[in-house]
């Protein structure tokens, strides 16, 4: 390659759909870049790949996928068939490599324990439990080294020896792999990020995927011609594992959510619904798909060149699955789309890199790509029947599991919009905050809150003082340790319940209580939630006999909003680098004025001996 830099590799991968040879060439270039970067002390993502079969070609695809996500990968390929040994041996080459993340690629041939075809359902269930325990041992060993774990689900063999009879037999390979995958998903919840290799294989065709020729020639688990198609599957898992999943879908209106132009054609003239033929049905199905995404936690917005008074009329159509209130932001003007997207990001307090933009106009897409490269821009083509496939091909919105916050996100953003209107009408900030009638509950986190706490740890980038990214397993362990405190903050106001929107982890070190992690959702910035949380923490610290608090700030590219947090809250820097900050607990926290009233904590067992921090 003429230019050996990360951007050049990514550009080559984006120029057209890459071939397996392209992936090999790009992976070689990335390996050289990573080698040079490590010698010069620059950051790289250290990723180990290990499996039951040959992972050499898969490792090349993984390197290219990570590069497409804007990170420089350094990939270690474990020896063929050594997954168990590499993960369980503390002196293995995998651990000497010191990976940040490990990709596990099991194969059904090595995974399924031999059972007779007439084995009972209980014998099959016991074999499944044994295999789950083996994987749990691998995960535990990797977690002890603070490795992020990404794992393929198992792909079944392509043939059923006696047809439908195999589907009825609990001991058949297909039935056993389905049961094992389900058990692994359950056991690995919040521990493992999953790549649905089984669904990928089904989409490309199980017989084509499971090429015997490549298995016998090189012990490859699948046909290498599908490696380019693997990239978006891995990228979706990588974003989920690293807290970069896309949160916001921004849509144009005309010829995107319906056919035609609402300003020219009017409500009954746009193409939407079965009365308008195949295209109308396809547009209606497309809207239904978007509505389903919104019900599952995806935030929606509109960015359209349209007259504001006409733009929303299309949602009054009888066949529209979407309504104006489904959109957290609605920017309609004659300005360029890049400016509109920036307005949306600012209004919703979301980064541009959390955004996926869909527009039928190639000129608008090109402008956004040029001016806002952080935004993922999707070409959905001109056939509405293919819109869903084209959007979902990128795996932009893949999640590993749902939380209650996902199901109520549209409601919380609607409440936020109402609050923003109230702020614009208020004479001053204090009047606005007082009128919100906010009520908060700061208390030791409960076991039932762990999924949402882990989600906040993974996704929160702006109000995140250290970005340490604790997993659900780690958080659960912290909650059992007497020297650690895990707090959760719930907030509601007169417009709605925002749910669990903040968390703080503190560690007792002699007479000092150190703030190890502190996160707050951007939905409640500038509402004095940080003062509310700190006042509660100080009360608990004083009750426990601590004499001072120690805060820590580790700057990143995205958390500048909390660079002055500790200074604003009465802490004093302990060094010139301003990483650590201290506050004496001798004086009461009268300077921490908050407009949030305290709500009593529920009567549930706390995670430590701590009582309600605002009691």
| 35-78 confidence digits (pLDDT tens) | 999 999 999 999 999 999 999 999 999 999 999 999 999 999 99
Per DSSP, the three-state class of 374 is: coil
* Residue with the larger pLDDT of the pair 85 and 309: 85
Show the domains of the chain with their CATH numbers. 6-241 (3.40.50.1110), 248-392 (3.40.50.1000), 436-598 (3.40.630.30)
User: E strands within 36-191?
Assistant: 45-51, 73-77, 101-105, 148-152
Per DSSP, the three-state class of 358 is: strand
Length of the chain: 615
Question: Sorting pLDDT into bands at 50, 70 and 90, what band is 4?
Answer: low
Question: Sorting pLDDT into bands at 50, 70 and 90, what band is 602?
Answer: low
pLDDT over 50 (residue 541): yes
At 614 the pLDDT is 52
At 412 the pLDDT is 77
| 475-527 confidence digits (pLDDT tens) | 999 999 999 999 999 999 988 888 999 999 999 999 999 999 999 988 788 89
In this prediction, residues 336-342 reach a mean pLDDT of: 95
At 612 the pLDDT is 46
pLDDT over 90 (residue 208): yes
* Residue with the larger pLDDT of the pair 466 and 458: 466
At 2 the pLDDT is 36
Percent above pLDDT 70 for the chain: 97
Query: How far apart (Å, rounded) are the C-alpha atoms in residues 300 and 320?
Result: 15
Question: Sorting pLDDT into bands at 50, 70 and 90, what band is 609?
Answer: very low
In this prediction, residues 436-465 reach a mean pLDDT of: 92
At 138 the pLDDT is 98
Structure tokens at 607: 């995670």
At 381 the pLDDT is 93
DSSP string, 545-611: T--EEEEE----SS-GGGTTHHHHTT-EESSTT--EEEEESSS--TT---SPEE-PPPSS--SSS--
Structure tokens at 284: 């209606």
Query: How far apart (Å, rounded) are the C-alpha atoms in residues 69 and 308?
Result: 35
User: E strands within 125-211?
Assistant: 148-152, 192-195
pLDDT over 70 (residue 17): yes
pLDDT over 90 (residue 249): yes
Output the pTM of the full model: 0.83
At 601 the pLDDT is 55
Please answer whether residues 550 and 579 qualify as being in contact, where contact means their C-beta atoms are separated by less than 8 angstroms. Answer: no
At 421 the pLDDT is 76
DSSP 132: H
Question: Sorting pLDDT into bands at 50, 70 and 90, what band is 611?
Answer: very low
Per DSSP, the three-state class of 439 is: strand
At 557 the pLDDT is 84
Query: How far apart (Å, rounded) are the C-alpha atoms in residues 263 and 306?
Result: 8
In this prediction, residues 396-423 reach a mean pLDDT of: 80
19 CB neighbour count, 10 Å cutoff: 12
Q: Which helix (H) or strand (E) holds 449?
A: none
| 416-450 confidence digits (pLDDT tens) | 777 777 787 888 889 999 999 999 999 999 999 99
Q: What are phi and psi of 129, to 5 degrees?
A: -60, -40
Q: What are phi and psi of 74, to 5 degrees?
A: -120, 110
Task: Report how far apart, in Å, the C-alpha atoms of 344 and of each of 29, 341, 348, 409 are.
Answer: 37, 5, 6, 17
| 164-185 confidence digits (pLDDT tens) | 988 889 999 999 999 999 999 9
pLDDT over 60 (residue 232): yes
What is the average pLDDT score of the chain? 91
Query: How far apart (Å, rounded) are the C-alpha atoms in residues 227 and 19?
Result: 8
pLDDT over 70 (residue 603): no
- Residue of 243, 245, 241 lying closest to 102 (CA atoms): 241
Helix axes 227-241, 20-39, angle to 10 degrees: 40
| 360-382 confidence digits (pLDDT tens) | 999 999 999 999 999 999 999 99
Cβ-count burial 185-216 (b if 16+ within 10 Å, e if not): eeebebbbbbbbbbebbeeeebeebbbeebbe
* Torsion sign (Cα): 56, 60, 62, 63: positive
Query: How far apart (Å, rounded) are the C-alpha atoms in residues 370 and 319?
Result: 35
Across 3-12, 76-85, 284-293, 557-566, least confident range: 3-12
Structure tokens at 152: 């393929």
Query: How far apart (Å, rounded) are the C-alpha atoms in residues 102 and 92?
Result: 13
DSSP 50: E
Query: How far apart (Å, rounded) are the C-alpha atoms in residues 442 and 532?
Result: 8
In this prediction, residues 343-352 reach a mean pLDDT of: 89
Per DSSP, the three-state class of 85 is: helix
Cα dihedral: 108, 111, 114, 115 (round 10): -80
* Torsion sign (Cα): 426, 429, 435, 441: positive
Across 114-128, 332-346, 351-365, 399-413, least confident range: 399-413
Looking at 188-332, list the stretches that DSSP marks H as alpha helix, in order from N- to C-terminal side: 197-204, 206-209, 212-218, 227-241, 262-265, 277-295, 308-311
């Amino acid at each position: 390659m003429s230019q050996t830099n990360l951007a050049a590799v990514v550009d080559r991968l984006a120029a057209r759909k890459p071939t397996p040879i392209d992936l090999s060439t790009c992976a070689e270039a990335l390996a050289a870049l990573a080698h040079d970067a490590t010698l010069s002390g620059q950051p790289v993502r250290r990723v180990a790949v290990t499996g039951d079969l040959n992972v050499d070609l898969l490792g090349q695809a993984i390197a290219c996928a990570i590069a497409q996500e804007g990170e420089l990968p350094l990939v270690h390929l474990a020896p063929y068939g050594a997954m168990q040994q590499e993960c369980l041996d503390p002196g293995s080459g995998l651990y000497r490599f010191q990976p940040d993340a490990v990709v596990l690629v099991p194969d059904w041939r090595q995974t399924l324990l031999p059972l007779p075809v007439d084995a009972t359902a209980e014998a099959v269930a016991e074999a499944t439990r044994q295999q789950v325990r083996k994987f749990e041992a691998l995960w535990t060993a990797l977690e002890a080294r603070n490795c992020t774990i990404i794992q393929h689900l198992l792909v079944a063999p392509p043939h059923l020896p006696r047809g439908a009879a195999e589907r009825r037999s609990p001991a058949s390979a297909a039935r056993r792999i389905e049961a094992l995958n389900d058990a692994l998903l359950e056991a690995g919840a919040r521990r493992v990020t999953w790549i649905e290799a089984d669904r990928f294989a089904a989409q490309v065709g199980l017989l084509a995927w499971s090429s015997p020729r490549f298995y016998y020639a090189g012990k490859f688990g699948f046909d290498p011609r599908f490696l380019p198609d693997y990239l978006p599957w891995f990228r979706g898992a990588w974003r989920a594992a690293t807290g970069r999943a896309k949160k916001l879908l921004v849509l144009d209106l005309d010829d995107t959510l319906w056919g035609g132009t609402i300003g020219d054609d009017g409500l009954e003239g746009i193409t939407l619904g079965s009365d308008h033929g195949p295209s109308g049905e396809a547009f209606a199905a497309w809207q239904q798909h978007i509505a389903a995404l919104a019900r599952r936690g995806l935030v929606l917005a509109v960015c359209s060149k349209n007259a504001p008074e006409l733009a929303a009329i299309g949602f009054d159509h009888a066949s529209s699955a979407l309504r104006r209130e489904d959109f957290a932001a609605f920017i309609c003007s004659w300005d360029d789309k890049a400016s509109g997207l920036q307005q949306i990001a600012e209004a919703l307090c979301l980064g541009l890199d959390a955004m996926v933009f869909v527009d039928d106009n190639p000129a608008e897409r090109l402008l956004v790509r040029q001016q806002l490269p952080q935004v993922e821009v999707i070409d959905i083509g001109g056939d509405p029947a293919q819109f869903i496939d084209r959007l979902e091909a990128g795996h932009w919105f893949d999640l590993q599991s749902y939380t209650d916050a996902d199901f109520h996100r549209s409601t919380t953003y609607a409440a936020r919009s109402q609050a923003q209107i109230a702020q614009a009408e208020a004479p001053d900030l204090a009047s606005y905050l007082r009128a919100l009638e906010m009520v908060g509950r700061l208390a030791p986190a409960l076991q039932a809150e762990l999924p949402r706490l882990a989600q906040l740890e993974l996704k929160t980038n702006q109000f995140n003082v250290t970005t340490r990214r604790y997993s659900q397993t780690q958080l659960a362990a912290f909650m059992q340790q007497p020297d650690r405190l895990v707090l959760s903050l719930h907030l509601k106001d007169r417009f709605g319940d925002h749910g669990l929107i903040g968390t703080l982890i503190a560690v007792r070190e002699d007479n000092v209580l150190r703030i190890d992690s502190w996160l707050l959702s951007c939905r409640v910035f500038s509402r004095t939630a940080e003062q509310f949380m700190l006042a509660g923490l100080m009360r608990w610290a004083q009750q426990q006999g601590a004499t001072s608090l120690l805060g820590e700030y580790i700057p990143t590219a995205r958390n500048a909003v909390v660079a002055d947090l500790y200074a604003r809250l009465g802490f004093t820097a302990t060094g010139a680098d301003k990483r650590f900050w201290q506050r004496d607990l001798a004086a009461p926290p009268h300077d921490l004025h908050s407009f949030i009233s305290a709500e009593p904590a529920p009567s549930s067992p706390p995670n430590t001996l701590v009582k309600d921090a605002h009691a």
